[in-house]
Chain A
Amino acid sequence: MRLEPVANPTLGRSIGFPAAALALTVVVASLLTLLAGANPFETLGLILAGAAGSKFALLETLNRATPLIFTGLAVAVAFRAKLWNIGAEAQFYAGALVAVLLGTGALGFLPWFVLVPVMAAGAMLAGALMLLGPVVLKVRLGVDEVVTTLLLNFIMLLFISMLLEGPLKDPMGMGWPKSEPLDRAARLPRIVDGLRLHWGFGIALISAGVIWVIQACTTLGYEIRAVGQNPQAARFAGIPVGWVLIKTALLSGGLAALAGWSEVAGLKGNLTLDISPGFGYTGIIVAMLALLHPGGVVVSAIFVAGIFVGADSMSRAAEVPTYIADILLATALLFMVLAILLTRFRVVRG
């Protein structure tokens, strides 16, 4: 069996295969719920209702989508340049850490409309620096960034753990490893009073728009695509490949750090070790499902968040473990990757 490229995929191909992927995912999920002893139709219905069945459910899904939009954008921007940033998790925590350092009184004299942007900028800088090291090593010495960024995730998590057990530990925290809460002025306001959705979601949407504009309309976006598609041709044409990778890294790391900042300043109010249930890694799934398109990242982040939120609520009602959400996502991603391959290539025998 061989794969032959399809010159111009037909509309049927580009819609049919992804739709089939989605259908197959549902079939696999149904089989698994059967295995867990529940009615698959009921279970899927509960997931849907839990994700979007009420105003509360929908806003909760958007809330969960917020950090995923940021980390998804971070991964999408980097992967466009074939810069394999697997370290969005570490950059997330860098952003969260800066939010706590700046938002718990150190800059208490600033009014909120100055403090909030300063915190966001500080978080972006920290995340950018987290990715700068691995990229400089890649550009200068050819060190594989997959390894360095992945390992930095564990270093960062242990570092945060050390801080939360030591200097950053909340003296009023009853011994729990968590930071002091943020000042009121450092918090992101809620969009709807009484519900948890905060302005981090709005900023995530704006970020997606900004990235879209950068990719489509600026010389930097053009350079990033050229470097990602063919670094040899880009170098020959005079594009400074190393600089473009460094700029991409700063952008990507900054975006992932915004996720951490928005979770601390918009949702949780303080820093704990479990503030991210793997938002950095899930960002990779989000970006891949979105085919690295910033608009697609928003859609796929909401889809992925919906599955998580829906599965949580379903498991309370139907006694099916929440792990079904992880399996759903993993199968969805695998089938989608296959579907994308099949829209662009035709399988030929012989």
Chain B
Amino acid sequence: MTNKREAQDTVLRLSGITKRFGALTANDAISFELKRGEVIALLGENGAGKTTLMNILFGHYTADEGRVEVFGQPLPPGAPGAALAAGVGMVHQHFTLADNMSVLDNILLGTEPLWRLGMGRGAARRKVETLARDFGLVVDPDAKIGALSVGERQRVEILKALYRDARILILDEPTAVLTPQETDALFETLRKAVAQGLSIIFISHKLHEVMSISSRVLVLRHGRLVGEVKTDETDRHRLAELMVGAEIKAVAPSEATPGEVLLRLSGVSTPAQGNRPGLNSVDLDLRAGQITGLAGVSGNGQGALADLLSGLEAPTEGEMDVAGTRVRGWSPRTAVAHGIGRIPEDRHRTGTIAEFTLTENAVLEGYMKPPFSNRGWMDWSGAERHTAEIIDKYDVRCPGPDTRIRLLSGGNMQKLILGRVFEAGPSIILANQPVRGLDIGAVTYVQEQLIAARDAGAAVLLISEDLDEVLALSDVIRVMSEGRLSPEFARGSMTPAELGVWMAGQGFEDAA
């Protein structure tokens, strides 16, 4: 009886939270309650206002209107310490751990006054070990953070929050860096936490995860709370529609008709750069009319492969052939000249120049040739005609070709890049995280364009951290781990769990 009433206790209440940034209303009168022992999912596209809302809850921003109550007590606005003290813990997408310190030190860091550091460690260690056992968070307290995998680091972050007696846990996109197996383990931990009376806010845009872990789903769109549904009364399709506000259709590529090999890497290695691994004796064939999907946990050499195909890096070992000829003097410009169309991972910093107009951005790769210039003289009218064509053909929503590109949304920016790349008629396309951060409408558009390019005979390499995307689009799949490439898997021959084993680094010839 008492148990039942307790389970209905409200631990967190947000009422009428409004936050404006200039003309933009990031949060518009958002109210909801979180009960004890409940997982609610906060679902929304990029820019829907999820992060702003959590920053207000956590005291990083001050709301213009509305209030936050934790366990019935109002939180003073703009005080991150107060949220922590009230029992709210947050696990950020990007971890906040010191690499050169042990797990235990990282957990204790900031919980004790400086002059007491080093005292009471025995008690602290026992508490951490008890928590780890109770919640299934297996991690060695004495290991250095730098030596841990991404999944283990996330466990440390959760332990850190639990150690501070967090009763409400906020997880921001926690699965973005995990393999499917690690995701399952995380969910197991979260279920244990809930069983012990914790409450969780799970922020994500991955629908199947939201369906599997949450009991209620809140959907944000353009800063407004547009839907609040019980998870067992809805399905993925309906959630997606709520998120976008329109009917959506999933891409379904037809059967591919692969042709000749357009790009071949044989035993290619490149050096590591800082924390980023290089390539380790990679063999890769990209065939005409085929999408090769590259799956893998982020930071396992995808960046090195992308830099190689972009021309930013040359192989230090091994051979690289484009359309049957060995490449010489490899650079971004020769890569473009060899017919490689490149969609970069970071469209803001690498793909475009923010202060340049659409026209200036559209000719960034081809400005030195007619019709954009002639013997060193720019032909701006030719460049503008070309840009107008791209705007028209690729449905770039903008005031005009002389608008600065920083004023465009991510989706429209990406459409301009697509236009720049596809209009040059590439035979090989490198698409590195082409839909990251885009809203669903733009995602569908970009994916359809990639399939259309494949059907027109291009060899496409799709690099993505989103396994679902790789599975949906690829004709063949390769998995990358620590700079090594798995064998080629045909479409449908592998389950996500089987690919997850490869993503975790098992199955490779030289694996221990």
Contact = CB atoms under 8 A, between A and B. Distances in A.
B350 A236 contact: yes
A232 B350 contact: yes
A240 B377 contact: no
A218 interface: yes
Contacts of B353: 226, 229-230, 233-234
Given A4-B21, A235-B312, A218 B365 contact: no
B86 interface: no
Residue of A217, A219, A234 ringed by the most chain B CB atoms within 10 A: A219
A7 interface: yes
Interface in B313-367: 331-333, 335-336, 342, 344, 349-356, 360, 364-365, 367
B351 A219 contact: no
Interface in B363-396: 364-365, 367-368, 373, 376-378
A147 interface: no
Contact of A229 (B310, B355, B373): B355
Contact of A238 (B78, B349, B365, B373): B365
Nearest to B363: A222
Nearest to B78: A350
Interface in A302-350: 346, 348, 350
A220 interface: yes
A237 interface: yes
B386 to A, nearest CB: 15
Interface in A203-239: 217-222, 225-226, 229-230, 232-239
Chain A contact residues (Cβ within 8 angstroms of B): what range? 20 to 34
Contacts of B267: none
Nearest to B373: A219
Contacts of B311: 238
Nearest to B375: A219
B376 A220 contact: yes
B122 interface: no
B150 to A, nearest CB: 25
A217 B377 contact: yes
A166 to B, nearest CB: 44
Nearest to B61: A350
Contacts of A346: 22
Interface in A80-130: none
B207 interface: no
A4 B23 CA distance: 11
A238 B332 contact: yes
A4 B22 contact: yes
Given A4-B21, A222-B367, A233-B351, A238 B356 contact: no
Contacts of B62: 350
Contacts of B342: 236
Contact of A233 (B21, B22, B352): B352
B407 interface: yes
A205 to B, nearest CB: 22
A237 B312 contact: no
A226 B353 CA distance: 7
Contacts of A230: 349, 353-354
B378 A217 contact: yes
B376 A233 contact: no
A6 to B, nearest CB: 9
A26 B367 CA distance: 46
Nearest to A240: B333
Interface of A is mostly: helix
Contacts of B378: 217-219, 221-222
Contact of B336 (A4, A234, A238): A238
A346 B23 CA distance: 13
Contacts of B310: 236
Interface string A228-259: 01101111111110000000000000000000
B359 to A, nearest CB: 11
A48 B352 CA distance: 47
A7 B407 contact: yes
Given A218-B377, A350-B62, A233 B350 contact: yes
Contact of A219 (B21, B78, B367, B407): B367
Contacts of B365: 237-238
Nearest to B379: A217
A7 B356 CA distance: 14
B354 A229 contact: yes
A230 B347 CA distance: 12
A238 B331 contact: yes
A237 B351 CA distance: 8
Given A4-B21, A4-B22, A236 B351 contact: yes
Nearest to A4: B22
A235 B352 contact: no
Given A218-B378, A220-B376, A222-B367, A236 B344 contact: yes
A220 B355 CA distance: 18
Contacts of A350: 62, 78
Given A236-B351, A238-B333, A219 B312 contact: no
A221 B378 CA distance: 9
A238 B350 CA distance: 11
Residue of B62, B364, B407 ringed by the most chain A CB atoms within 10 A: B364
Nearest to B365: A237
A234 B367 CA distance: 12
A326 B373 CA distance: 45
Contacts of A219: 367-368, 373, 376-378
A235 B22 contact: no
A235 B311 CA distance: 10
A239 to B, nearest CB: 8
A218 B377 CA distance: 4
B364 A218 contact: no
A344 B217 CA distance: 40
A222 B312 contact: no
Contact of A218 (B312, B336, B376): B376
B314 to A, nearest CB: 14
A2 to B, nearest CB: 10
Contacts of B331: 238, 240
A229 B356 contact: yes
A165 to B, nearest CB: 46
A217 B367 CA distance: 12
Nearest to B383: A222
Contacts of B312: 235-236
A217 B342 CA distance: 27
A239 B366 CA distance: 10
B55 to A, nearest CB: 13
A235 B349 contact: no
Contacts of B360: 222, 225-226
Nearest to A214: B376
Contacts of A237: 332, 364-365
Residue of A7, A235, A237 ringed by the most chain B CB atoms within 10 A: A237
A56 B478 CA distance: 79
A241 to B, nearest CB: 10
Nearest to A350: B62
A233 B349 contact: yes
Contacts of A225: 356, 360
B51 to A, nearest CB: 17
Interface of B: 21-22, 62, 78, 310-312, 331-333, 335-336, 342, 344, 349-356, 360, 364-365, 367-368, 373, 376-378, 407
Counting from the closest, the 8 A-B pairs by CB-CB distance are A238-B333, A238-B332, A237-B364, A230-B353, A236-B350, A229-B353, A237-B365, A219-B373
Given A229-B353, A232-B349, A234-B353, 13 more contacts: A217-B378, A226-B364, A229-B356, A230-B353, A230-B354, A233-B364, A236-B310, A237-B365, A238-B331, A238-B332, A238-B365, A346-B22, A350-B78
8 contacts: A225-B356, A229-B355, A232-B349, A233-B353, A236-B312, A238-B336, A346-B22, A350-B62
